[in-house]
């Protein structure tokens, strides 16, 4: 069994409130969860309006599949969200 952990840092340009941040993140989290069937949650920068850190996790029996899936999540968020990708890291356990 392989557990893949993705930590992704996002910049929400032009956002002026926590309410706006929650709306953007809810949309991102719902779409990622639906498309990839992974666990996703905000794990850091909770009180900052324009920054967010998301943690994403998946479990698989194939290390290559786990890495590929998390890489696809990064590409999906980068191309299909209002947030700008600042940094990410993938760890396979």
Pick from 74, 80, 83: nearest CA to 6: 74
- pLDDT value at 33 more than 90: yes
| 33 C-beta neighbours (distance < 10 Å), count | 13
**What's residue 47's pLDDT?**
83
Query: What b/e readout covers 60-84, taking b as 16+ CB neighbours within 10 angstroms?
Result: beeeeebbebbeebeeebeeebebe
Q: Which class does domain 2-92 fall in? A: alpha beta
Tell me what the mean pLDDT of segment 32-61 comes to: 93
The model scores a pTM over 0.85:
yes
Q: Note the pLDDT tens digit of each residue in 53-80.
A: 999 999 999 999 999 999 999 999 999 8
């Amino acid at each position: 069994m392989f557990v893949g952990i993705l930590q992704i840092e996002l910049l929400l340009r032009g956002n002026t409130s926590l309410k706006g941040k929650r709306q953007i993140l809810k949309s991102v989290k719902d779409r990622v969860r639906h498309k990839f069937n992974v666990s996703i949650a905000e794990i850091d920068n909770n009180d900052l309006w324009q920054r967010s850190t998301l943690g994403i996790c998946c479990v698989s029996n194939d290390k290559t599949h786990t890495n590929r899936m998390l890489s696809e999540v990064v590409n999906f968020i980068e191309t299909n969200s209002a947030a700008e990708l600042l940094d990410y890291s993938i760890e396979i356990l």
